[in-house]
């Protein structure tokens, strides 16, 4: 295991021989790294934290520090990070809080770009991209394949739906619909479906057509949200993706961006 002479590893940390630990890294107790991780330099990891296999972490990143929550009183909460992730420079990811379930969780195959902040109790699904300086408040949920653009602040407790795309500089205070493109002009709006992203992920033309139809009913008809949902439920062969969209809206507590 290549460990630079300036790195500090607590005896209670579990670091496999296949890992590469660069200059001035600090790994505290109750930290567990998976196989083939690389910490480039100047990285501080505090536990309890578990990091999966083949995770690359770039300089000046802070992982597993105490949550930035005034009610936190030193309880033993956790950070869990999955496999095959790239975490770029100056990223901060905090542990959870007891009131939020105790765990901040980051999935697999995720790109977290420079200066991004993932606050306590966030739940990040697989294949997510968080662009430079995306800032997630506490308890935010980002579902699989979502893209959060650069310089986007996301309000606490917001949900970002699967396969959605948020344009850079957009302030998010309500839930972001699955499959949608959302951006800020004068106000924040959903601008139809993320068709390019869906095509890249192998969605068939028929699946995309059904999602597009559902969005026309939701966003372009004269129906209110309740009426639009009832119409979509009544249509035969709407498809599983539309069912996901309906369930997301019906379970929203903060309201959705339309």
Q: How do residues 17-75 score in pLDDT, each as one tens digit? A: 999 999 999 999 999 999 999 999 999 999 999 999 999 999 999 999 999 999 999 99
238 and 129 together in one domain = no
Beta partners for 141?
123, 159
Please tell me which residue in 22, 83, 100, 121 is annotated as part of the active site: 121
129 and 23 together in one domain = yes
Active site residue 175: no
Going by the DSSP 8-state scheme, the letter that residue 99 receives in this structure is G
Helix segments in 154-224, DSSP class H:
195-200, 205-215
Token representation of residue 3: 């460990």
Q: Are strands 180-184 and 188-193 parallel, antiparallel or unpaired?
A: antiparallel
- Assign 3-state DSSP to the chain and report helix, strand, coil percentages, each to 5: 20, 30, 55
Question: In angstroms, rounded to a whole number, what is the distance separating the alpha carbons of residues 188 and 197?
Answer: 20
Could you tell me the CATH number of the domain that includes residue 50? Answer: 2.160.10.10
pTM for the predicted model, two decimal places: 0.95
Active site residue 212: no
Structural domains counted in the chain: 2
State yes or no: pLDDT of 4 exceeds 90: yes
Residue 232 pLDDT grade (very low, low, confident, very high; cuts 50, 70, 90): very high
Residue 185 pLDDT grade (very low, low, confident, very high; cuts 50, 70, 90): low
Please tell me which residue in 22, 28, 138, 167 is annotated as part of the active site: 138
Q: What is the pLDDT of residue 184?
A: 79
Token representation of residue 139: 């308890």
Domain finish residue from 109, 142, 175: 142
Flag whether 46 is in a domain.
Answer: yes
Active site residue 120: yes
């Amino acid at each position: 295991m290549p460990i630079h002479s300036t790195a500090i590893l607590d005896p209670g940390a579990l670091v496999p021989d296949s890992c590469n630990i660069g200059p001035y890294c600090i790994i505290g107790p109750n930290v567990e790294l998976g196989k083939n991780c690389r910490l480039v330099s100047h990285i501080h990891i505090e536990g309890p934290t578990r990091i999966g296999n083949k995770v690359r972490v770039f300089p000046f990143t802070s992982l597993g520090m105490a949550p930035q929550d005034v009610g936190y009183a030193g309880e033993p909460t956790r950070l869990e990070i999955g496999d095959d992730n790239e975490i770029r420079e100056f990223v901060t990811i905090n542990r959870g809080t007891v009131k939020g379930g105790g765990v901040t969780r980051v999935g697999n195959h995720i790109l977290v770009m420079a200066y991004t902040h993932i606050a306590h109790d966030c739940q990040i699904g697989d294949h997510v991209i968080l662009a430079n300086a995306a800032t997630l408040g506490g308890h935010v949920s980002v579902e699989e394949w979502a893209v959060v653009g650069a310089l986007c602040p996301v309000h606490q407790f917001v949900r970002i739906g699967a396969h959605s795309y948020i344009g850079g500089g957009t302030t998010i205070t309500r839930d972001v619909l699955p499959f949608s493109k959302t951006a800020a002009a004068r106000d924040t709006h959903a601008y139809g479906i993320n068709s390019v992203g869906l095509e890249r992920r192998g969605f068939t033309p028929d699946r995309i057509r059904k999602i597009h139809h559902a969005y026309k009913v939701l966003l372009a008809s004269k129906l209110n949200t309740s009426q639009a949902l009832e119409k979509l439920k009544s249509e035969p062969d709407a498809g599983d993706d539309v069912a996901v969209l309906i369930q997301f809206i019906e379970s929203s507590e903060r309201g959705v961006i339309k």
